[in-house]
A and B are shown apart, each in its own frame.
Chain A
Amino acid sequence: MFDDINDLYQQVILDHCKQPRNFHELPQCSCSAQGFNPLCGDNLKLFLTLDGDVIKDAGFTGSGCCISKASASLLTDNVKGKTKAEAEQMFERVRDLVTTGKTTGDVGKLAVFAGVYKYPARVKCAILAWHALIGALRGEAAPVSTENEKT
């Protein structure tokens, strides 16, 4: 019945939503940030451990829809080993990907989010963890939300 929806709920996304990776706090983290969309209830906290400029470890906790959870899970896998600048560049690429379906440069496994742009109501779910990442890297204290702003 849901043949057409596989472009949104790709197998990799379903897998990461059911068995999220790095789904735990990092007690010794260097920085963290909360992503919270109060209107739909997606609420996650992202933790990063930095070694100088490099993200050594990443983890997250929280609850939300399949898309937001899978996005946070894939994010934590993706950013490990990246420098701050590389992580910010990846944020730009993912944002382009989920809003337009296209992106410049390699996004690796994150390419599974290429179908999200066809579901405008779900873009905010896919990008929430990435905004939390930027919030954590920039040391923003307030929770980030993707409900009211442009992504």
Chain B
Amino acid sequence: MTDWTKLRADFPILNQQVHGKPLVYFDNAATSQKPRFVIDALVHYYERDNANVHRGIHELSNRSTNAFEAARARTAKFLNARSADEIIWTRGTTEAINLVAATWGAKHLKAGDVILLTEVEHHSNLVPWQMLAQKTGAKIAYIPVTGDEGTLDLSKLDSLLTSQVKLLSMVHISNSMGTINPVAELCAKARKLGIVTLVDGAQSAGHLPVDLQAIGCDFFAFSGHKICGPTGIGALYGRTEILETMPPYQGGGEMILTVGYDKTEFKPAPHRFEAGTPDISGPIGLHAAMDYLDAVGREKIWQHDQELANYACEKLSALKNIRIFGPKQNRAGLVSFLLKDVHAHDVVTLADQGGVALRGGHHCTQPLMHKLGVESTARASFYFYNTKAEVDVFVDVIKEIQKFFAQ
């Protein structure tokens, strides 16, 4: 049995009061908190090993280069990629998707081609493709969602998978609905038709075991800060065969083999896509985060996430005048909801006074909110250091908010 309460002690930030109440941090889909183990890894790096990576001959440079590349190998293992060369460091999920749009997209997409997305996408998996479509003349089509449940309506899939579709890009877990998309099934279908696939793993990577070979996608993007790592580091996975066809992302140092005044020869992947001095402490902190998560166990984390979400849903469903979004079955670790006649921002401001950190707004899914006919929702999102007792506090606070506005 995992002692979840004991794990909380690893997160110094959780032990504080906010507005005189114990902090209940339920904004994990936005960013996660960091265990002492990760903070220590960053401190150790800056106190002992800091130097620029690659090409350095001295001891500190060797150490930092080894740690930097070890983090890449660790990430490959974390996601079950076939090789560390399939892992490209980025600032996060958003930059990873933009990298694919700017390199693979610019090279392989042309007017009339179709980029297939879903209606639940985060803006980071919408806007880069809209920008690319504008540049190339490609079109965008969407797999529809069913409604408040936020699940994909796959009855339309076969008619959407036309021969013009060149890319299927979709979120693994919806950040605003908590739905889990059947990415392996969709990737298998796309693969048979020669369609390249990208999975946005921002909400899935550190929450459930991710096996990229089983999912079978061509690209996978995630952010370190959402899985106990530092902000500013994330990664793009790309299948070797596809990375080899892609031009560089940015030009500069680190990504070249030889440079002349007229001509430059680029390195192979992944370094071809990493110009300039990279974020070095980021991957090192992320490495520690992945070690920490695997010591806890991602199966257990997933089970705990889902248990808290189901428990919260069950308790919220017992309230009157509440609209709950997301699937009834198989929900990821978050709950989006609206109270009748109370704006989500008022809910969040009041919940904050109760020590409960929620998020209110469109969650970077404006088109989805529009489709559901709402301006925003309030969202509670969980991670393994959260407890059922905290869900109880949260639901009590929601009840108080209802009372406050019913006065």
Report A's interface with B, CB cutoff 8 A. Answer: 1-2, 4-5, 8-9, 14, 18, 38-41, 43, 63-67, 119, 121-122, 125
Contact = CB atoms under 8 A, between A and B. Distances in A.
B376 A8 contact: no
Contacts of A1: 353-354, 397, 400
A41 B346 CA distance: 13
B222 to A, nearest CB: 25
A40 B349 CA distance: 13
Interface in B71-113: none
Chain B CB count within 10 A is highest, among A18, A38, A43, A65, for A65
A65 B343 contact: yes
Given A1-B353, A2-B353, A9 B375 contact: no
A122 B349 CA distance: 9
B345 A122 contact: yes
A130 B73 CA distance: 56
B261 interface: no
A40 B376 contact: yes
Contacts of A64: 343
Given A39-B362, A122-B349, A66 B400 contact: no
A122 B19 CA distance: 17
A66 B343 contact: yes
Given A2-B354, A4-B19, A66 B375 contact: no
Nearest to B407: A14
11 contacts: A1-B353, A1-B397, A1-B400, A2-B350, A38-B366, A39-B361, A40-B361, A65-B343, A65-B344, A65-B346, A67-B346
Contacts of A121: 345, 349
Most buried by A among B345, B360, B366: B345
Contacts of A4: 19-20, 353
A39 B362 CA distance: 7
A113 B84 CA distance: 57
Given A40-B361, A41-B375, A2 B345 contact: no
Given A14-B407, A41-B375, A63-B375, A8 B362 contact: no
A151 B346 CA distance: 20
A122 B345 CA distance: 9
A8 B349 contact: yes
A65 B361 CA distance: 11
Contacts of B342: 66
**9 residue pairs, one from A and one from B, having the closest CB atoms:** A41-B375, A65-B343, A65-B345, A1-B400, A5-B353, A66-B346, A41-B376, A65-B346, A2-B353
A8 B19 CA distance: 14
A65 B404 CA distance: 14
Contacts of B353: 1-2, 4-5
Interface in B324-349: 341-346, 349
Given A2-B353, A9-B346, A66-B405, 8 more contacts: A1-B353, A2-B404, A5-B350, A9-B404, A14-B405, A43-B375, A65-B343, A121-B345
B401 to A, nearest CB: 8
Contacts of A41: 343, 362, 369, 375-376
B355 to A, nearest CB: 10
B349 A119 contact: yes
Contacts of A14: 405, 407
Contacts of B369: 41
Interface in B359-375: 360-362, 366, 369, 375
Contacts of A40: 345, 360-361, 375-376
A140 B400 CA distance: 42
A100 B177 CA distance: 38
Contacts of B343: 41, 64-66
A119 B346 CA distance: 12
A18 to B, nearest CB: 8
A119 B345 CA distance: 12
Contacts of A122: 345, 349
Nearest to A67: B346
B346 to A, nearest CB: 5
